[in-house]
Structure 1
């Protein structure tokens, strides 16, 4: 498998002069996913935590209602092909039509702000390159998991897969992500039963409507001890 970052020689303009320098950039990996013998998708990703990403994808995209339905995962072609077999297979998106967040978890506003500040520090420190998305799984006390990927959608899948393998209960935790929030990302979080999503940027109108229909707490744009609560304010105290 390729490394998540690589070094390249580039030309750089700085202080009125063009010079030749060495730079660190991101690697892009392509994983083809088969579910029960049917090709489903080619995922462009950062080549780390691939098994966890596949597990999270199966749940967040509605192929299964629970990851215990996954019977077998086999990687081949230097991890470029994943062959997955699941029982009681759903059509993608089937779960999303009726998904509703049932968690009664409550989080402190001060804790969310504190974890967001820690998230900003961690996401800047983790990679030299910039231009990569980061997600963390939190509770009021700790950041439990951190992942990076070139795709913001993949960060959610990787977090979910990691939590499953480490037997971390998702319905009492929340996600912080480095990106703006479209409706399909909100749907991923809902399908996984995570009660709150906190974003560094804004949520789209459609994302807000999906969150409200499904009882997801959606928070965005935390700055200067302030935040936008788009939906689910009952989970914040």
Structure 2
């Protein structure tokens, strides 16, 4: 959104036009019951809804969804599953996490989420990772305009296959997961790139996909590092300025 602001500098004050990131609530209605309301950027709503359901362990594939209708006027995604989900009312108990816009995970799902085996023989060079991160940063058009969004992407090692931006880092991740599922991309042959902090709930979402290498411009938390080491998942942070910190499973980076 474009708005008028007062810019104050060391030389004076000026009224100028500036662009701020758009934000809206999105309610996901699952089989007639309100599942969650997310605060998000108003784009790629179908992808966000599908990605959220998948990364939360509610669906195993896009094929589990019988119908999805996006109501832009009411900011609601109506989702009907082909089969009733196991877990009943327990599904609707949530953990509000540390993310922008309050990331959400369902506590009873954490130990039940199916985890794909990680590919042991997946390798990528440090030079390639740094090159991909530069390409990733160049694609951040909304961030360049507003400075107010996070980015996430998948790469098969050459180019960026999926790229999304959102005010919430959890949402950006769910959006790329949703699009990858719609396009039937092979997660195990992808690396994931993100601009934001890597915390435990982000790690649970990523682990669900089977991606074995995660790289970020930001920092991981101690719990994220512990999970990455437990799962033998390659985690690299502070990927910028020609360097990176590798916290786990460094053998995949050659």
- For normalisation by structure 1, the TM-score amounts to 0.89
Q: Distance in 1 between matches of 2:251 and 2:60?
A: 26
Give aligned pairs, total.
232
| Mapping 1:7-156, distance limit 5 Å | 7-78=2-73, 80-86=75-81, 87=83, 89-90=85-86, 91=91, 92=106, 96-97=110-111, 99=115, 101-104=117-120, 105-123=122-140, 127-156=144-173
CA contact (8 A) 1:101 1:216 kept: no
Gaps of 5+ in 1: 1-5
- Please report how far the alpha carbon of residue 153 of structure 1 lies from its aligned counterpart in structure 2 after TM superposition: 0.5
**Distance change in 2, residues 1:79/1:214 (3 Å):** farther
Q: Flag structure 2 segments of 5+ consecutive residues without an equivalent.
A: 92-105
> What is the Cα deviation at residue 112 of structure 1?
0.9
Deviations 1:113-162 (Å, cap 9, x if unpaired)? Answer: 11012222322676411121111211221111211100000011000111
- Give the superposition deviation at 1:109: 2.0
CA distance in 2, matches of 1:54, 1:182: 21
Separation in 2 of the partners of 1:127 and 1:228? 25
4+ runs of 1 displaced by more than 6 Å? none
Inter-CA distance 100–215: structure 2 relative to 1 (3 Å threshold)? farther
Q: Distance in 2 between matches of 1:214 and 1:97?
A: 14
Q: Distance in 2 between matches of 1:94 and 1:212?
A: 23
Which string of whole-angstrom CA distances, capped at 9 and with x for unpartnered residues, describes residues 1-44 of structure 1? xxxxx111111112431221111111111111112222111111
SS state of the match for residue 20, structure 2? strand
The answer to whether the 8 A contact 1:101-1:215 is kept is: no
Query: Which residue pairs with 1:157 in the alignment?
Result: 174
Larger mean Cα displacement after TM superposition, 67-76 or 173-182: 67-76
C-alpha displacement of 1:222: 1.8
SS of 2:63's partner is helix
In 1, distance between residues paired with 2:213 and 2:108? 22
Q: Shift of the alpha carbon at 1:203?
A: 0.4
